A = this chain, B = another copy of it.
Amino acid sequence: MAAKKMVDQKLPQIPGIRLAAVPAKIKNWQRDDLLLIAIDEGAAVSATFTQNTFCAAPVTVAKEHIRGGHIRALLINAGNANAATGERGLRDARACCVAVADALHIEEQQVLPFSTGVIGEHLPLQKLLDAIPTAAGQLQADGWNTASRAIMTTDTRAKAASRTVKIAGEQISIVGIAKGAGMIQPNMATMLAYVATDAAIAQPLLDELVREAVAASFNRISVDGDTSTNDACVLIASSATGPQIDDLKSAEYALLKAAITEVHIELAQAIVKDGEGATKFVTVQVNGAASSAEAMRVAFEIGESPLVKTALYASDPNWGRLVMAIGNAGVEGLDTEKVDIFLNDIQVVEAGGRASDYTEEAGQKVFTEAEFTITVELGRGGCSEHIWTCDFSHEYVTINAEYRT
């Protein structure tokens, strides 16, 4: 997308959470590349992790530690993914947790480690061990913008979002940061997201909330259809403010969930907009499906098709490719004569064929916009779903072909 400036957002502090970003020189660069997040006692922490079987060492360790509960710190490094690194990779990740635990006087099992960067190279462990005490000495509540920059890799801009919401008369804050510029590109664009609130919420409700918020946000985006070895999304509730929320059906839960989900969606959309080489941001909306799963399948078949994505790049309303993608989604018994397609409010396909009053000029006008919506009506049932995608450009090939050179 056009201009990608590093303008700091006004982000709230989250009582009970402090951060520090430091330069550990993990790569040969001059920037912060190690982020420490410290969480006061009494917080609830939930997370979702990559489904990739070849998950990285820090993911294995983080999954193990979070099962024990009582998480007190997160450590995130950029520049090295510590993935496909075998037993030594696991030892390195654990050594980092021990160093954080020593610096913060907590247990090793209370630390979650995260890494993003090159696959297949060992962590420069000593550099991390040297930098961890420095970070621990610099923790402060006002650090989210700095933090959002420290976790970047191929991102062209930092990603952060925030909301405030009044619950039972008290103002609750939510702030989130994320990185990722391909849905993944395994060497450098893992998707990582950290969202924090000072609300007080029971652990089972937070687990449910992160699951639903991720389903509504990060699980609806596609840049290149691949999934990283290191993806993770963490949601922290510090419990510093407001009433304890422990009823899934309460108004308080609904309010908190809505605000937290908005932060997730804003971060997810920011990743697509910063997609490698992306020039278009497109919502694919599928209505009239027999099930949600079916609607999602059709939406992703469109949003991930290289042929659709190159047509988006060319601003070419090549609706034959939309029809082809729908036909490839494996919708059993689809009656193609019930399928309608709209580009914003312009109907391009009517009853499976070209709409009678569609003109190429009208379609072209929509496709030249930087943001628009493709809506598919399947005419099979009452289920709707949507995803967000971007185009496939020469720049994408250049970035990914020349990445290591």
Chain A residues at the B interface, C-beta cutoff of 8 Å: 52-55, 81, 83-86, 89, 118-121, 182, 184-187, 224-229, 305-307, 310-311, 313-314, 316, 318-321, 323-331, 334, 336-337, 339, 349, 351-354, 392-394, 396-398, 400-405
With A53-B334, A310-B396, A310-B397 given, name 16 new contacts (CB 8 A).
A53-B331, A54-B324, A54-B336, A83-B320, A86-B351, A86-B352, A118-B320, A184-B307, A186-B323, A187-B321, A224-B306, A306-B400, A313-B401, A314-B402, A314-B403, A392-B397
Q: Is the interface of A mostly helix, strand, loop or mixed?
A: loop
Give the interface centre of A119, A184, A331, A405 by most chain B CB atoms within 10 Å: A119
Closest residue of chain B to A86 (Cβ to Cβ) is B353
A403-B228 in contact (CB<8A): no
Closest residue of chain B to A277 (Cβ to Cβ) is B397
Residues in B whose Cβ lies below 8 Å from that of A353: 84-86, 89, 120
Residues in B whose Cβ lies below 8 Å from that of A398: 394
In the assembled complex, how far is the CB of residue A92 from the closest CB belonging to chain B, in whole angstroms?
A: 13
Closest residue of chain B to A312 (Cβ to Cβ) is B401
Residues in B whose Cβ lies below 8 Å from that of A403: 314, 316, 318
A186-B320 in contact (CB<8A): yes
* CA distance in complex: A87, B305 (Å): 28
B397-A397 in contact (CB<8A): yes
Residues in B whose Cβ lies below 8 Å from that of A52: 324, 327-328
* CA distance in complex: A54, B404 (Å): 41
Closest residue of chain B to A325 (Cβ to Cβ) is B226
In the assembled complex, how far is the CB of residue A119 from the closest CB belonging to chain B, in whole angstroms?
A: 3
Give the interface centre of A84, A226, A324 by most chain B CB atoms within 10 Å: A324
Cβ-neighbour of A226 out of B53, B187, B324, B396 (below 8 A): B324
In the assembled complex, how far is the CB of residue A18 from the closest CB belonging to chain B, in whole angstroms?
A: 34
A119-B324 in contact (CB<8A): yes
Closest residue of chain B to A187 (Cβ to Cβ) is B320
Residues in B whose Cβ lies below 8 Å from that of A400: 306-307, 310-311, 314
B402-A327 in contact (CB<8A): no
B405-A314 in contact (CB<8A): yes
B225-A326 in contact (CB<8A): no
* CA distance in complex: A225, B308 (Å): 12
Given A394-B394, A400-B311, A120 and B323 contact (CB-CB distance below 8 Å): yes
A401-B311 in contact (CB<8A): yes
Residues in B whose Cβ lies below 8 Å from that of A121: 354
B354-A314 in contact (CB<8A): no
B305-A226 in contact (CB<8A): yes
Closest residue of chain B to A225 (Cβ to Cβ) is B306
A226-B310 in contact (CB<8A): no
Give the interface centre of A121, A351, A402, A403 by most chain B CB atoms within 10 Å: A403
A53-B401 in contact (CB<8A): no
* CA distance in complex: A229, B323 (Å): 9
* CA distance in complex: A321, B84 (Å): 11
Given A84-B352, A324-B184, A401 and B316 contact (CB-CB distance below 8 Å): yes
Cβ-neighbour of A313 out of B81, B326, B397 (below 8 A): B397
Closest residue of chain B to A349 (Cβ to Cβ) is B84
Residues in B whose Cβ lies below 8 Å from that of A326: 53-54
Residues in B whose Cβ lies below 8 Å from that of A324: 52, 54, 119, 184, 186, 226-229
B119-A323 in contact (CB<8A): yes
Residues in B whose Cβ lies below 8 Å from that of A182: 307
Closest residue of chain B to A308 (Cβ to Cβ) is B226
Can you offer 6 A-B residue contacts whose CB atoms are under 8 A? A54-B334, A54-B336, A83-B320, A187-B318, A226-B324, A394-B394
Residues in B whose Cβ lies below 8 Å from that of A184: 307, 324
Residues in B whose Cβ lies below 8 Å from that of A85: 353
Residues in B whose Cβ lies below 8 Å from that of A349: 84
